[in-house]
Structure 1
Amino acid sequence: MKVLKTWFGVWAGALALSAMFAGAASAQAIEKKDLTLGVGGKGLLYYLQLTLTERLGYFKDQGLNVTITDFGGGAKALQSLIGGSADVVTGAYEHTIRMQVKGQPITAVLELGRFPGIVLAVRKDKAAQVKSFKDLKGMKIGVTAPGSSTNFFVNALIAKDGLKPEDVSIIGVGTGLSAVAAMKKGDIDAISNLDPVITKLQQDGDVVVLADSRTEEDNKKLFGGNNPAAVVYFKQDFIDKNPNTVQAVVNAFYKTQKWLAAATPEDVAKTVPEEYYLGDRALYIAAVKASKPMYSVTGIIPPEGMKNALDMLVRFDAEMKDAKVDLSKTFNDSFAKKAAAQM
């Protein structure tokens, strides 16, 4: 009888333990496994972590089926989220601020880039007449897409010298070889773009750099410190309804951040598609090396970074000047912290 009681006690304890684990597993069940992710310029180093996460298989490791839609610029990727054709976007952090003001709350859940990595460069034959941002007045400036982070970068810099957005002509030139071609053909006077486009134009001797945001030192000069760039963001109501899905997405990207922190530029080149090289593998490796400092290693935006981003927008955007922004609602760090605790 005593043996029977002991056996029953063990069985009951095992059953309770099994139920507890089953409950925990159920609590972590992914609500939406099939996701559409929007991005504006997937081949740019600004979004390197997206391609790496895809190629390394980390989305699948988390039980996700992610379809990536690549647009000509970040503004179009944002529109895809607002319009409902995308569930999640890798895009510029400042979009979370601007959309809050428009009454459409979107929230970043992971920082990918702690610096923008955007470079403003002038065509070489125009360089002699451009000594400061104010000298860009009246010029045609190529950006990935109007309304994108490359456009914001131009607006913020010319505002430092008292110019308004309408004082220059903004032209969407896309990413990759289309942007390179626009500069080489003389369709634009200056360009605000990212690597590997900028490194390609520099190595070919086509441009002179006016402002560079790829390093910590340069960001201190331009913005006074950290200025968050690429993030992973969702509509807030999606986060509320699908917290486990969001956590799975963050886990995948966070694993990539750890991989990237230890990887060499050569490792990166082996992992991405060859078309990212713009026809020159050595150039791509050089571009990765130049851009490496801009990537986040914690996934968390510091408060001063959020403030710097807001201050930058207020400088040039009249819509933002009197707006009341709750920065705590633009970034949720709980998912990154949980990802870190699990690894």
Structure 2
Amino acid sequence: MPKSHTLFNALVFSLAVGGVSLSAPVAQAADKVTIMVGGYEKQIYLPAKLAESLGYFKDEGLDVELLNEPAGVDAENQLLAGAVQGVVGFYDHCVDLQAKGKFVESIVQFSQAPGEVELVSAKHPEIKSAADLKGKSVGVTGLGSSTNFLTHYLVTKAGLQSGDVTSVPVGAGTTFIAAMQQDTIQAGMTTEPTISRLLKTKEATVLVDMRTVGATRAALGGTYPAASFYVESDWVDAHKETAQKLANAFVKTLRFISSHSAAEIAEKMPKDFYVGDKDGYVAALNDGKAMFTPDGVMPEDGPKTVLAVLSQGNKDIQGKPIDLSKTYTSEFVKKVK
């Protein structure tokens, strides 16, 4: 036998003894995806951290890094700059950006209600309606954020001009609470668990509630698809396989939310998200988890409501031809088994 054959056979034997199969497939590297979340401690964006905690990203062969950015508008800017591949934020940015010539689309719709509340400081009992916000400073997460869009709609619907109210970017959580305590803002729009923290201490009262679908319809005139996972349209076209994997992970997460109690869901979240009040966190989640869609599909009447809200006094939107069909797709979520 030629010497080369002898060496080859020896190599095959040694690999077999070492437990290495020559026919075994080479492990594929996980798809690396960086996602910016507009405040991942907020309950409205809970599916992002929950998917990570449940291991659903890894199950799909994804290496997902979640970055935290308190204001959704800043997360949007990171996406447009190419620093991240996707954003967990409000769907309304997809509509707003199209008016500015930028095309992004929601590929998984997390919620069908904003989960937001306009709170009024207990120091200002004179504020009993949105019309009473005239001359006041009102807190939003950031200028150009979804909370700013919604606040603008509420005050213009009440008959005020945009200049009648001063929007102050105060973020959420501790910074929002501090701004209200210091009277930097007299009212403001925020989410859970910040809402419950201020209501528990009686430092604020509810002016407009948008935590449920019913309350949202009363406030905004229809279903308002809010928290979503959105990406640039060009990225979707070039990365359909990765987009499908992300949709798989998020839809499985939404199914988990719809089939488990608030207490069970809370156990999967980082403990610091409770902000020292686990019972309050669970209670808020129990009251609000119906806002989440069970399947990631865009509510049929939702995009039209969002466009109507954004068009209310918003010069960036008014008169612009918006193709709502290009602001979202259910292509991927409907393929999830």
Normalised TM-score (structure 2): 0.89
Among candidates 45, 49, 57, match of residue 47 of structure 2: 49
**Match of 1:226?**
223
**Match of 2:9?**
none
Measure the CA separation in 1 of the matches of 2:102 and 2:88. Answer: 17
Among candidates 305, 309, 329, match of residue 326 of structure 2: 329
Measure the CA separation in 2 of the matches of 1:231 and 1:316. Answer: 24
Mapped pair 1:236 → 2:230: no
Cα displacement (A) at 1:219: 1.2
Measure the CA separation in 1 of the matches of 2:314 and 2:214. Answer: 26
Output aligned runs, 1:102-141, within 5 Å. 102-127=100-125, 129-141=126-138
- Could you report, residue by residue, the CA deviation over 1:11-70 in whole angstroms, capped at 9, with x for unpaired residues? xxxxxxxxxxxxxxxxxxx99811110111110011011110011111111111111111
Cα displacement (A) at 1:304: 1.2
Q: Is the 8 A contact 1:123 1:183 kept in 2?
A: yes
Other structure's SS at 2:192 match: coil
- Could you report, residue by residue, the CA deviation over 1:245-268 in whole angstroms, capped at 9, with x for unpaired residues? 000001000000010101111112
**Match of 2:213?**
216
Other structure's SS at 2:105 match: strand
Among candidates 36, 39, 56, match of residue 38 of structure 1: 36
Other structure's SS at 2:106 match: strand
Measure the CA separation in 1 of the matches of 2:240 and 2:222. Answer: 32
- Over the aligned positions, Cα root-mean-square deviation in angstroms equals 1.7
Other structure's SS at 1:202 match: helix
Structure 2 portions without partners, runs of 5+: 1-27
Cα displacement (A) at 1:164: 2.9
Cα displacement (A) at 1:316: 2.4
Normalised TM-score (structure 1): 0.88
Measure the CA separation in 2 of the matches of 1:153 and 1:282. Answer: 29
Measure the CA separation in 1 of the matches of 2:237 and 2:161. Answer: 39
Other structure's SS at 1:121 match: strand
Output aligned runs, 1:138-157, within 5 Å. 138-157=135-154
Paired amino acid for 1:114: Q
Measure the CA separation in 2 of the matches of 1:113 and 1:184. Answer: 30
**Match of 1:58?**
56
**Match of 2:258?**
261
**Match of 2:96?**
98
Paired amino acid for 1:259: F
**Match of 2:301?**
304
Paired amino acid for 1:159: T
Runs of 4 or more above 3 Å deviation? none
- Could you report, residue by residue, the CA deviation over 1:92-130 in whole angstroms, capped at 9, with x for unpaired residues? 111111111111100111100110011001101212x11
**Percentage of matched positions with identical amino acids:** 35
**Match of 1:274?**
271
Q: Is the 8 A contact 2:141 2:190 kept in 1?
A: yes
Measure the CA separation in 2 of the matches of 1:145 and 1:301. Answer: 25
Other structure's SS at 1:302 match: coil
Cα displacement (A) at 1:235: 0.5
Measure the CA separation in 2 of the matches of 1:110 and 1:155. Answer: 26
Cα displacement (A) at 1:318: 1.5
Measure the CA separation in 1 of the matches of 2:178 and 2:271. Answer: 19
Measure the CA separation in 2 of the matches of 1:254 and 1:320. Answer: 31
Q: Is the 8 A contact 2:109 2:227 kept in 1?
A: yes
Paired amino acid for 2:55: G
Measure the CA separation in 1 of the matches of 2:231 and 2:259. Answer: 28
Measure the CA separation in 1 of the matches of 2:201 and 2:265. Answer: 23
Mapped pair 1:187 → 2:184: yes
